[in-house]
Structure 1
Amino acid sequence: MDHSFRAFIKQADEPFVGWDFSYITDSGRMRSEPLPWSYGSMAIRAIQQASSMLDMGTGGGEFLESLRPFPPSVYATESYLPNVTIAKARLTPLGVKVVQIEEDNRLPFQTGQFDLILNQHESFSAKEVRRILKNDGMFLTQQVGGLDCKGINEMLGVSINHEYADWSLKAALKELKTYNFEVIKACEDYPAQRFYDVGALVYYLKAIPWQVPNFDVEAFLPSLYKIHQKIEQKGYIDFTQHRFMVLAKAK
C-alpha cells in the first residue's frame, strides 16, 4: 500500500463536529450533484409566512442559523447529546429554544403548537408531526432514501441497512396521507456523490455510522485500497445518492 494511501487514511482522523462537512467540501474533496430543488430556498419561503416553527434534528444548528430571520417562536430538537451542546451555544443567542429528545414519536410539544415544521435528513413520525402542527400548518422535509450510496456498501462487501431499504418518496407519501396531510409538492432524485480521495470517503463514513455499521478502517483496509486505486486511475469515484422532498399541509 503506497504512501499517499496511508496519508489520506491518516488525514481522515480529523474530528467531525456538529453536522459540518466543510473539512472535505470546502477543499473540494467531496462534491454532490445538485438536486432539482433547493430545500434551503423552500425553507426560507415557508419561514417568511410562519409565526411559530420547529426544526427537527437540527444537528449543531449550522443550517438553521443560515435561515434567519426567524419568526417570533422558534424551537429545534436534537437527539445526539454532543450536538445539543453545540446547537444551544449557536442558537440560544438567536432566540431558538433547543430541546433534547429521545424519540421522534413522542415530542415534548403541545398539540397544534407550530404552523411550520422543518425536517432535513431526520426521521419523523407523521402522526406526531400532525399532532403538533396547527390546521393548515406546513411540513417541509428532505429525506435520505433507503438506497443512498449503496455502491459504497457493495465495494466494501457490506449489506445495506434493510430496516431502511424501502424508505422512499412513495413510502413517505403513504404515511403522510394516512395522517391527514395534503401533499403540495414532492420530488425524488438520485444525484451522484463524488469523492476525489479515499481519505474524504473515510471521513464521510466515520461521520455517518449508519451507512456502514461498526465501520473500522483497519478491517476494511484492503477494500479501501482498491477504492484508492480506482480514484488514482480515474481521478474520482462516484456513488449514487437517494434523496426526496415533500412539502405537505396539515388538513
Structure 2
Amino acid sequence: MTRDFDTLIAEADAAPVDGWDFSWLDGRATEARPSWGYQRLLGQRLSSVTSALDLQTGGGEVLAGVPAFPRTMAATEAWPANLDRATRLLGPRGVVVVAARDEPPLPFADGAFELVTSRHPVTVRWAEIARVLTPAGRYFAQHVGAASVFELVEFFLGPQPEARGKRDAGDESAAAQAAGLEIVDVRSERLRMEFFDIGAVVYFLRKVIWTVPGFTVAGYRDRLLRLHRQIESEGPFVAHSARHLIEARKPG
C-alpha cells in the first residue's frame, strides 16, 4: 500500500499545474457541470458587444473556447505562469492580455467596456467592475459558491464554520447592488465531485490553491495517507462543488 501511495502522490506532485486545463484528472476524478453552460452563454454575450474584459482569465482556456471576440477584447491575470499561457493562447486572436494583480484599481479607464466577465474569480471587486463598465454595460460571470468542496476542505483543515458562509450568492448580489449595479439574474447549483485516487486529490489541491491554503504533500502526508486508505477501502471520495451564475447591469 505504501509503495502505491508514494507513487501516486509523487506523480501528482510532479505534474504541471499552470492554467485551467484539468485534463490530467481524466479517469481519476469527475465533476458535474452546471446546467446553464457558462461558456456557451459567454459566447452569446461576447457576440453582442464591441468591447469586453475578462477578469482573472487563468490560462485563457475558457475564453479561448469562445468562437468570436468583440473588436476590443482584453483579459487580466495575476499569476505569471498563467499569464504566459494566456498570452500564447489568446494573443494570436487579438486579445490584449494584461498583467494585473487581483486588487484595485484595474488598469483601465472609466466606462471602457460594455461587458465584463469572469469565471471563478478569487476576488470580486464590485466597485471596480462598475467603474470600468459603460452605462448599461453588464457583468456576466460564474462564481464559486459557498462551502464549495468543503468535504475535502474540512478533511484536511477540520471544521470551518466561519468560512462556510463566504461566497454566498445573496451576499454577492447585495455587494453588487451596493456598488451601484442592478441584478439581472442569479442561479445557484451544487454539483457532485468524485476523486478516485489520492493522486487526483493532490493534483486538485495543488492546482486550486485556495482550497487548502499552503497545501504541500510533505505538510499533509499523514492526512493524505489516511485519505488514500479510505478511498482504497470505501471507494471514491465524494465532495460537492458550489457554483452560481450572476449577471448584473450598470444603470444608464
CA-to-aligned-CA distance 1:131-176 (integer Å, 9 cap, x gap):
1111111111111124111111222244549568422101110011
CA-to-aligned-CA distance 1:104-137 (integer Å, 9 cap, x gap):
3201111111111111111221111011111111
Report the residue type matching 2:116 in the other structure. Answer: I
Structure 2 partner of 1:18? 19
Structure 1 partner of 2:130? 130
Instruction: Indicate yes or no: 2:170 matched with 1:180.
Output: no
Q: Secondary structure at the match of 1:143?
A: strand
Instruction: Indicate yes or no: 2:86 matched with 1:72.
Output: no
Verify the 8 A CA contact 1:105 1:124 in the aligned structure 2.
no
Verify the 8 A CA contact 2:119 2:142 in the aligned structure 1.
yes
Q: CA deviation at 1:219?
A: 2.8
1:227-246 equivalences under 5 Å are 227-246=227-246
Structure 1 partner of 2:190? 190
Q: CA deviation at 1:187?
A: 0.9
State how far apart, in whole Å, the 1-side matches of 2:180 and 2:154 are.
38
Structure 1 partner of 2:140? 140
Q: Taking structure 2 as the reference length, what is the TM-score of the superposition?
A: 0.92
- Pair 3,103 (structure 1): closer, same or farther in 2 beyond 3 Å: closer
State how far apart, in whole Å, the 2-side matches of 1:85 and 1:34 are.
27
State how far apart, in whole Å, the 2-side matches of 1:211 and 1:249 are.
30
Verify the 8 A CA contact 2:147 2:163 in the aligned structure 1.
no
CA-to-aligned-CA distance 1:205-242 (integer Å, 9 cap, x gap):
01122211221213322221222122223331111212
Q: Secondary structure at the match of 1:191?
A: strand
State how far apart, in whole Å, the 2-side matches of 1:213 and 1:140 are.
27
1:73-112 equivalences under 5 Å are 73-112=72-111
Verify the 8 A CA contact 1:160 1:211 in the aligned structure 2.
no
Verify the 8 A CA contact 1:59 1:87 in the aligned structure 2.
yes
Structure 1 partner of 2:247? 247
CA-to-aligned-CA distance 1:12-70 (integer Å, 9 cap, x gap):
0211122221111xx22111122232111211111111110011011111111111211
State how far apart, in whole Å, the 1-side matches of 2:70 and 2:202 are.
39
Verify the 8 A CA contact 2:77 2:98 in the aligned structure 1.
yes
Q: Secondary structure at the match of 2:35?
A: coil
State how far apart, in whole Å, the 1-side matches of 2:106 and 2:166 are.
25
State how far apart, in whole Å, the 2-side matches of 1:76 and 1:162 are.
32
Stretches of structure 1 that go unaligned for 5 or more consecutive residues are none
Q: Taking structure 1 as the reference length, what is the TM-score of the superposition?
A: 0.92
Cα RMSD over matched residues?
1.8
Verify the 8 A CA contact 1:112 1:133 in the aligned structure 2.
yes
Structure 1 partner of 2:171? 171
Instruction: Indicate yes or no: 2:157 matched with 1:154.
Output: no
